[in-house]
Amino acid sequence: MNRRWIGFAVWLLLTVCLYFFENNAGTRIVMLCTMLIPLIPLCRQAFFSRDEAGGGISRPPAVRVSGRREMEESGNVRAYAPGDPVGRIHWKLSVRKDELLIRETDGYGAAEEETAEAPAEDGQGIKAERRLVAGLVSGMLLCTALLLLIPEANRGAQALCNRIFAESEKANAYVYDYFPVPEGQSCILAACLAGGALSALAAVAAAVRSGPLILSVMAACTLFQVCFGLPFPAWVNVPLYGLLSLRMMKRPWRRGSLLACGAAVLLVSLLVLILFPGADAATEAASEAVRDRLSLMAQSVMDTVSETREGETETRHVHTRSLNAGEDEAGTDRVFRLVTVEEEQVSMPHWVNWLKAILPALLGIALMILPFAPFLLLNARKRKAQESRKAFLSGNVGEAVCAIFRAVISWLDETGHGRGNLLYRDWADQLPDLFPDGYAARFARCAEDFEEAAYSGHPMREDMRRRALELLRETETALWKKADWKQRFRLKYWKCLYE
Amino acid sequence: MRSQLDRVLRETEKVIVGKRKVIGKILAALLAEGHILLDDVPGVGKTTLAVALSRAVGLSFRRVQFTPDVLPSDLVGFSMYDKATGDFVYRPGALCRANLILGDEINRASSKTQSALLEAMEERQVTVDGKTYPLEAPLIVMATQNSVGAAGTQLLPYAQLDRFLVRLSLGYPDYEAQMTMLRDRQLGNPMDGVACVMEKEELLAMQQEVRSVASGDAILDYITRLTMASREHAALQLGISPRGALFLNRMAKANAFAEGRDYVTGGDVQQVFADVCAHRVLLKETVRETSVEQVLEELLRKVENPDRRGFFSGIRK
């Protein structure tokens, strides 16, 4: 389980919430599309290599599919040795075999540093990646070309566009020029081709780690949305895309690219808010409805409601215009004044509209950032944890002994067996009875070593390190064996820190 | 070193049965060059302990029984006119030429006598008629205070209590110990069997070594946090003084030395904390339910110990 998956799950949840919050059909479609997009990197992760540092596709999917069984048989798993990173522990197998097992580095979960050090070694993978990208791009081009060239498909595409226009008109206050396509034109072929082209594009975006390309894809998506009107909260998609592109950009992020990305997102959001009336379409729709009501009222007062349902709209417009112009034949003075007052109440001051736009914008951005906040915190903890692991092999044995013993203590703390603010040497008498015989004595011994290392500054002997590592291993095994599901959950979370 | 301390302990235990812990603490206080206040009921063997200890360590022993009419000059000495030479001759008092002084019932002395004694304790010298006489090198005062029958006594003020390194109490022996004691004393006095197992010079050397025990930044940090917490504690009117912190460090060093280590751990500080600090803090008058001991225990519980605090100094001093 990768923490990125959790992040995407939260993201997805959020989008779904927004989806239900929105009751506009066109926007809902846009939202649905947005929901699908985070799935791309997930699929990518599932089917291609698990390590991100390697960049792109470095391993064929087959390894992943039969990974575990193969590993078990070909001996890619070995017993846990003290000092091994907890993140390398194969938890599933460990549970089954009741002893801690370690994934070997040549398994599919290869160490990050290994790949980072020798990228040239993976030439095969890079070649495969290039081939795949080339195939996808040509597929995309082929689909587009077919879409344009085959008359049947072309007409279908136009019909498809007409449908989208119709949807968009329902959602917004726009009027589109429809393509001249005969009624009942089938658009199945066009939909297939367009779908193929789009999915190829998405696959390319997912497979390639090039920042500009992904950004341009995102920009295209955004433009597409903007063209078809983007009422709130669909424009939240803009920062969404921005975050997604940030996610997919090459690590480590440089400050420049971060700034550029942030600025671009902000700019697009603002442009959308200011230039496209879809943003306050909701407000307009509301005032429209009130106007309708008012004019109807005015008509009833005038006792002139004689039109049929079909003619209502025209009459309404006429009346509205006449009311606005203040012409006399629209009604008596009293009614006119009544209507003007009500209308003033309806059309609020302009800044309210701005407020309406800005507050949800801020809220949206906050909501977007929220799911990432824990990971930022987690990263800090992770760095600390990894540093302490590094200290295990430190040349200064004293430091190593301290770090190892503290790791033992953290295991106990994590599983709720910690003894709080008691001196570690006193913990030995109060340890839970889930440990094997003689553990308490060994713990006390190591606690003494720890004290000597921490407080004396004596040069420590190498066997003390060995003893401490032995204790750590024993602790980990015993605690994992006896942990209930809640504790195992905690341990797994904790394990995440070392991954 | 450890073995020598053990031997002293064993010799002393011949006389004081079943009080190993307290004797150990007294020995640690000796090593830390501090003075000891024994706060106890009469007849539990305070004097016997002092005598046995002085015999075992080879210290010269003197006892002063304080009463309201004991004068400062009885302690520090006085100048006497010598008719033959026509000069003033200094007659040393009880404090001079003694290493271990038992000040019995110090709370019965007048306050000026008390302060004379405490001054000598602090400066390890006496001044009579403008002339200063240094006292012999290991000078340890064991003062006793009876907690019962305190009517008409001068309780030591807190400022002066602060000068004692530790306040201990022997307490009654348990059944076994008292049976053994009664049996031992049927025929003779076991005090005669106490042999001198350590020289005075050895004690001085040990004191020197105690001073060189390493007390790292982690420990000093712990002591500082403990004392500061005591000053801010809601139930305490008077927290631990800086001198108290110094003494705490010194006693912790001695405790580490007695356990055969040359570095102080958090455990050392915790073990000596109550003995060193109980007589230095003062409860607020409005606080009724709790005792000083409970407050100190709470401090130890609350203040994050150096193990937990977790900084690896690794560098000696």
* A66 pLDDT tier (thresholds 50, 70, 90): very low
Could you tell me if B261 lies within 8 Å of chain A, comparing CB atoms?
Answer: yes
Q: Is the pLDDT of residue B309 over 50?
A: yes
| B214/A421 touch (CB, cutoff 8 Å), yes or no | no
| A398/B316 touch (CB, cutoff 8 Å), yes or no | no
Chain A CB contacts of B306 under 8 Å are 454-455
Cβ-nearest to B264 among A421, A422, A455: A455
* A236 pLDDT tier (thresholds 50, 70, 90): low
Q: What is the residue type of A166?
A: A
**Where does residue A10 rank: exposed (0-12), middle (13-18), buried (19+ CB within 10 A)?**
middle
CA-based nearest residue to A163, from A273, A355, A29, A53: A29
Residue A474 C-alpha, separation from nearest chain B C-alpha, in angstroms: 21
Q: Where is pLDDT greater, at B39 or B148? A: B39
Q: Is the pLDDT of residue B84 over 50?
A: yes
| A424/B307 touch (CB, cutoff 8 Å), yes or no | yes
Q: Where is pLDDT greater, at A227 or A355? A: A355
Phi-psi region of A80 (alpha: psi -120 to 50; beta: other; left: phi over 0): beta
Q: Could you state, in order of their start, the residue ranges of all structural domains in chain A? A: 61-107, 129-275, 280-347, 394-498
pLDDT of the residue at B107:
85
Q: Is the pLDDT of residue A458 over 50?
A: yes
pTM for this model (two decimals)? 0.56
pLDDT tens profile B209-265? 999 998 888 899 999 999 999 999 988 888 999 999 999 999 999 999 998 888 999
Compute the average pLDDT of residues A226-243.
55
CATH 3.40.50.300, chain B: domain bounds = 2-203
Pick the CATH number of B212-309 from 1.10.8.80, 3.30.465.10, 3.40.50.300, 1.10.1740.10: 1.10.8.80
pLDDT of the residue at B255:
93
Could you tell me if A385 lies within 8 Å of chain B, comparing CB atoms?
Answer: no
Q: How does the average pLDDT of chain A come out, rounded?
A: 67
The CATH architecture annotation of domain B2-203 reads 3-Layer(aba) Sandwich (3.40)
Could you tell me if A141 lies within 8 Å of chain B, comparing CB atoms?
Answer: no
The vertex-A296 CA angle with A291 and A299, nearest 5°, equals: 125
Chain B CB contacts of A458 under 8 Å are 263
Chain B CB contacts of A398 under 8 Å are 312, 314
Three-state secondary structure of chain A: CCHHHHHHHHHHHHHHHHHHHCCCHHHHHHHHHHHHCCHHHHHHHHHCCCCCCCCCCCCCHHHHHCHHHHHHHHCCEEECCCCCCHHHECHHHHHHHCCCEEECCCCCCCCHHHHHHCCHHHHHHHHHHHHHHHHHHHHHHHHHHHHHHCHHHHHHHHHHHHHHHHHHHHHCCCCCCCCCCCCCCCCHHHHHHHHHHHHHHHHHHHHCCCHHHHHHHHHHHHHHHHHCCCCCCHHHHHHHHHHHHHHHCCCCCCHHHHHHHHHHHHHHHHHHHHHCHHHHHHHHHHHHHHHHHHHHHHHHHHCCCCCCCCCHHHHHHHHHHHHHHCCHHHCCHHHHHHHHHHHHHHCCCHHHHHHHHHHHHHHHHHHHHHHHHHHHHHHHHHHHHHHHHHHHHCCCHHHHHHHHHHHHHHHHHHCCCCCCCCCHHHHHHHCCCCCCCCHHHHHHHHHHHHHHHHHCCCCCCHHHHHHHHHHHHHHHHHHHHHCCHHHHHHHHHHHHHHC
pLDDT tens profile B100-152? 888 888 888 888 888 888 888 888 888 888 888 888 878 888 888 877 666 66
Residue B276 C-alpha, separation from nearest chain A C-alpha, in angstroms: 19
pLDDT of the residue at B199:
86
Which of A31-35, A81-85, A451-455, B191-195 has the weakest average pLDDT? A31-35
pLDDT of the residue at B59:
87
pLDDT tens profile A373-428? 666 666 666 777 777 777 788 788 888 888 888 888 888 887 778 888 888 888 88
pLDDT of the residue at A305:
45
Compute the average pLDDT of residues A257-276.
64
Q: Is the pLDDT of residue A56 over 50?
A: no
CATH 1.10.8.80, chain B: domain bounds = 212-309
| A426/B267 touch (CB, cutoff 8 Å), yes or no | yes
Cβ-nearest to B270 among A399, A423, A455: A423
pLDDT tens profile B9-19? 888 888 888 88
pLDDT of the residue at B183:
87
* A121 pLDDT tier (thresholds 50, 70, 90): very low
ipTM of the complex: 0.81
Cβ-nearest to B265 among A398, A406, A455: A455
pLDDT of the residue at A2:
57
Q: Is the pLDDT of residue B268 over 50?
A: yes
Distance CA A486, CA A491 (A): 9
Distance CA B205, CA B4 (A): 12
Most confident region among A275-284, A347-356, A409-418, B211-220 by mean pLDDT: B211-220
